[in-house]
Chain A
Amino acid sequence: MAELRTEQMVLNMGPQHPSTHGVLRIELVVDGEVVVDAIPHIGYLHRCFEKHAEAMNYQQVVPYCDRMDYLSSMNNDLGYVLAVEKLLNIQVPERVEYIRVIMAELQRIASHLVAIGTYGLDIGAFTPFLYCFRDREMVLDLFEMTCGARLLYNYMWPGGLSHDIPPGFVEKTKAFIKHFRPTIKEVNDLLSYNEIFVKRTANVGVLPADVAINYGASGPTLRGSGVKWDLRKDDPYSVYHKFDWDVVVGTGEMGTLGDCWDRYMVKVWEMEQSLRIIEQAIDNIPEGNVQAAIPKRVRPPVGEVYVRSETPRGELGYYIISDGSQNPYRVKARAPSFVNLSLLPEISRGYLIADMIAIIGSVDIVLGDVDR
């Protein structure tokens, strides 16, 4: 075979390919079936979040944050309001902090369920997707009874929350936890340890830890490579330091450390940890008024702040510059999906075209977050 002359070919994957989870185009340079290079082209969903933010006041930015990573709106809002509160130097009531943590963790479960379900779908397993969406629906019901919205909540405001939790929320959340624990096992039986699934994902798209750090990877993508790094533990914000839970890292159980299976499995076990946090928080919500600390006018002093928080996809940072007026002078969102996607070429070289599907899905990007 050695004397056969081969030629490289350019193959476009997307922007309408179902496995790209949105409008992402990847320019693949292939030699036969082998990927020589993968160049992501992004920006199809760019909505000028940062420009918009400069034109309105601090409170009005919150709904835009919802729309960046539309699968984890609660976490996006949380990061933004934390940044504004730090700039304003205000303390919010403990009740608000507890409810925020509960919402953020419920959102993390809902987001991971989409990631896991659609990842199975990419690989060719249809049933787990239905299990995941059935349970995600229950989380969305909890959000709906709290603030009326199922996807984009505008729930967290600088200084407080738009609504207190409604009567029956605590019981319903506990019922959800009881129902959901067995689902994790079901997902593992159906998908995680499924022979075909393991064959498709283990030893594929290996990301070494030092490369991950150099590229600024975060969230499950970084932890999948065995780096014990979670901002909720390592740079704690809100009231996360009060709860007892573990950071999940990849172990290379099925193949190589940092492969697609590890990145996937971190998400599965993280849902378990989120349940633990919710369980501890739900019974200890202090009394108080969730709107007591909301300032009438948000007018931070001249200054700037960079606050980061852990969303389901990794480190979401807001860099806000205030010039003392009611509108932010500059808002920069450091989106986790944007950074994680930038290492895609690094982990796809040398694998087959079919593996690209597994690799893209394992990085778990949301294009609204990439393009902002």
Chain B
Amino acid sequence: MNANEIHDKIKSQFLEGVVEFKPDAVVEPFIVVRPDLVREISRFISEDPEVKFDYLMSLSGVDFNDGNLGVVYHLYSMEKRHRIVLKVKVPKDKPEVPSVESIWKTANWHEREAFDLFGIMFLDHPDLRRILLPDDWEGYPLRKDYKVQEYYQGMKVPY
């Protein structure tokens, strides 16, 4: 299935769920979906026998630098051999996205990483803690407006 067909498939099930579809994006087409529906959509496309996205290749946080944070899901189907990119956008002051950990276990650590570096809150995540940075680190480094904390545990941070 190509991106257009996958988009139609999602749209037929979740009429309100698709915010934007860019079939002509450089280099890959992507679908922006509503954040509050992302888990339902993910469950649908992971179980539907025609699309069957069983492999979450990557889950990345992004700071769009326009007051929005985002999560990008790169999905692949081992069985059907097709791929799609899903995106959600959430406002920076309330970055809440439902977790897809219950669908793809890959998301467990990837969501922890996005939480750690971008401060995106994944609702219903079983174990949302910092993963790469120390537990008591302040701020979310990969946000574009990040300022390094001056002192960490009494040590000057050398930047």
Binding site for B on A (CB under 8 A): 42-43, 46, 48, 50-51, 86-87, 89, 211, 213-216, 227, 229, 234, 301-306, 308, 315, 317, 319, 321, 330, 332, 334, 338-339, 342-343, 371-372
CB of A123 to closest CB in B, whole Å: 27
Residues of chain A lying within 8 A (CB to CB) of residue B142: 50-51, 330
Contacts A43-B131, A339-B106 given; indicate if A334 touches B58 (C-beta within 8 A): yes
Q: With CB as the reference atom, state the residue of chain A lying closest to B107.
A: A216
> In the docked arrangement, what's the CA distance between A319 and B54, Å?
20
Contacting B25 at CB < 8 Å: which of A234, A304, A338, A372?
A304
Shortest CB-to-CB span from A77 to chain B, Å, is 19
With both beta carbons as reference points, the residue of chain B lying nearest to A339 in the complex is identified as B106
A306 touches B85 (CB 8 A): yes
Query: Are A214 and B54 interface neighbours, CB within 8 A?
Result: yes
Q: Residue B134 contacts which of A43, A216, A304, A339 (CB distance < 8 angstroms)?
A: A43
Contact of A302 among B26, B81, B104 (CB under 8 A): B26
| B60 interface contact, C-beta 8 A | yes
Chain A residues within 8 Å of B55, by CB: 213, 216
The closest CB in chain A to the CB of B85 belongs to: A306
Q: A46-B133, A306-B74 are in contact. Are A315 and B27 (CB under 8 A)?
A: no
B3 CB–A CB distance under 8 Å: no
Expressed in whole angstroms, the minimum distance between the Cβ of A20 and any Cβ of chain B is 17
B57 in the interface, Cβ–Cβ < 8 Å? yes
How far in angstroms is the closest Cβ of chain B from A62?
20
Residue numbers of B with Cβ under 8 A of A are 25-28, 30, 54-58, 60, 62-63, 72, 74, 78, 81, 85, 104-106, 108-110, 117, 130-134, 141-142
Tell me, in angstroms, the Cα distance from A306 to B72 when the chains sit together: 11
Known: A214-B105, A229-B78, A315-B57. Contact between A43 and B133, CB under 8 A? Answer: yes
Q: Which of A229, A301, A342 contacts B106 (CB 8 A)?
A: A342
- 14 CB < 8 A contacts A-B: A42-B131, A48-B141, A87-B27, A214-B106, A303-B26, A304-B27, A305-B28, A306-B57, A319-B74, A330-B60, A334-B60, A339-B106, A342-B108, A371-B132
Q: Are A303 and B132 neighbours in the complex by a CB distance under 8 Å?
A: no
Query: B141 to A51, Cβ gap below 8 A?
Result: yes
Tell me which residues across on chain A come within 8 A of B104, comparing CB atoms: 214, 216
Q: How far apart are the CA atoms of A58 and B4 in the complex, in Å?
A: 31
On chain B, the residues within 8 Å of A303 by CB distance are 25-27
Q: Tell me whether A42 and B141 are in contact (CB under 8 A).
A: no
Q: Which of B26, B58, B81 contacts A301 (CB 8 A)?
A: B26
B106 touches A317 (CB 8 A): no
Name the A residues within 8 Å of B132 (CB-CB): 42-43, 46, 371-372
Establish whether residues A317 and B57, one from each chain, have CB atoms under 8 Å apart when the complex forms: yes
Question: Is the beta-carbon distance between A334 and B57 smaller than 8 angstroms?
Answer: yes
B105 A216 Cβ-Cβ under 8 A:
yes
Interfacial chain B residues near A317, Cβ < 8 Å:
57-58, 74
CB distance from A268 to the nearest CB of B (A): 25
Residues of B within 8 Å of A330, CB to CB, are 60, 62-63, 142
Chain A residues positioned under 8 Å from B63 (CB to CB): 330
Rounded to whole Å, the gap between the CB of B49 and the closest CB of chain A is 16
Please tell me if the beta carbons of A50 and B72 are within 8 angstroms of each other in the complex: no
List of A residues within 8 angstroms of B105 by Cβ: 211, 214-216, 342-343
B134 CB → nearest A CB, Å? 7
Residue ID in chain A nearest B129 by CB atoms: A41
- A319 vs B70: C-alpha distance in the bound complex, in angstroms? 14
Residues of the A chain whose Cβ atoms lie less than 8 Å from the Cβ of B108: 342
Distance from B88 Cβ to chain A, minimum over Cβ atoms (Å): 15
Question: B104 to chain A: closest CB distance in Å?
Answer: 6
Closest residue of chain B to A227, judged by CB? B78
Does the CB pair B134–A306 fall under 8 Å?
no
A345 to B138, CA, bound (A): 28
Interface centre among A234, A342, A343 (most CB of B within 10 A): A342
**Apart from A214-B54, A342-B105, what 5 extra A-B contacts exist at CB < 8 Å?**
A42-B132, A48-B141, A305-B27, A305-B28, A338-B109
| Residue numbers in A under 8 Å from B62 (CB-CB) | 321, 330
| Residue with the greatest number of chain A CB neighbours at <10 A, chosen from B26, B56, B141 | B26
For A42, the chain B residues whose CB sits under 8 A away are: 131-132
Tell me the minimal C-beta distance from B85 to chain A in angstroms: 7
Residues of A within 8 A of B106 (CB): 214-216, 339, 342
Query: Which of B63, B130, B134, B142 gathers the greatest number of chain A CB atoms within 10 Å?
Result: B142
A50 to B30, CA, bound (A): 22
With the chains together, A48 CA to B30 CA distance in Å?
Answer: 27
Decide: A319 near B27, CB < 8 A? Known: A43-B132, A51-B141, A308-B57: no
Measured between C-beta atoms, what is the minimum distance from B109 to chain A in Å? 4
A304 to chain B, nearest CB (A): 7
A292 to B117, CA, bound (A): 39
